[in-house]
C-alpha cells in the first residue's frame, strides 16, 4: 500500500474548493491511489512531459496531478484543479504549459 502525501500547492488547491468537493476528491484519491497508482485506468493515466506531475487522476471535471516514488511507496499529490475545455485551472488561474 502506498502512502499519500500532499505538497503545499496541493493543500492550497484543496482549500480553495468547497467542502463537498474536497471530500469527494480526498475519497477518490484514497480509493484510486493507495494501490497500484501507476496502473493506467479509465480515470488514471500518465501525462505528457510537463512541469507539474507525471500522472493524472480524473474525478469528473477535477484533476489530481501526482508523482509516484515506487521504491519507497509514496504518492505525492502535486496539484488539484479543474479542467475546463482543454485548459487546467488551479485556484481559478489557468495553467498554460499542460
CATH code for the domain in which residue 77 is found: 3.30.2310.20
Asked if residue 58 belongs to a domain, the reply is yes
3-state secondary structure of 53: coil
pLDDT tens for 75-88 read: 999 999 998 888 88
Asked if residue 98 belongs to a domain, the reply is no
Asked if residue 43 belongs to a domain, the reply is yes
* pLDDT confidence bin for 97, thresholds 50/70/90: low
Asked if residue 28 belongs to a domain, the reply is yes
Asked if residue 97 belongs to a domain, the reply is no
Best CA proximity match to 35, nearest among 3, 71, 67 = 3
Contact status, residue 81 vs residue 25, Cβ threshold 8 Å: no
What's the predicted TM-score (pTM) here?
0.92
What is the C-alpha to C-alpha distance for residues 76 and 4, in angstroms, rounded to an integer?
A: 6
3-state secondary structure of 42: coil
**Domain of residue 48, residue span:** 3-92
Contact status, residue 52 vs residue 98, Cβ threshold 8 Å: yes
3-state secondary structure of 58: strand
What pLDDT score does 88 carry? 86
3-state secondary structure of 35: coil
Domains contained in the chain, number: 1
Residues 6 or more apart whose Cβ sits within 8 Å of residue 11: none
Amino acid at each position: 500500500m502506498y502512502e499519500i502525501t500532499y505538497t503545499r500547492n496541493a493543500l492550497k488547491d484543496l482549500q480553495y474548493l468547497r467542502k463537498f468537493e474536497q471530500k469527494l476528491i480526498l475519497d477518490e484519491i484514497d480509493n484510486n491511489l493507495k494501490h497500484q497508482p501507476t496502473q493506467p485506468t479509465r480515470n488514471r493515466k500518465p501525462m505528457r512531459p510537463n512541469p507539474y506531475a507525471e500522472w493524472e487522476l480524473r474525478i469528473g471535471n477535477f484533476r489530481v496531478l501526482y508523482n509516484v516514488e515506487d521504491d519507497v511507496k509514496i504518492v505525492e499529490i502535486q496539484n488539484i484543479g479543474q479542467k475546463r475545455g482543454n485548459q487546467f485551472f488551479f485556484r481559478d488561474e489557468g495553467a498554460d504549459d499542460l
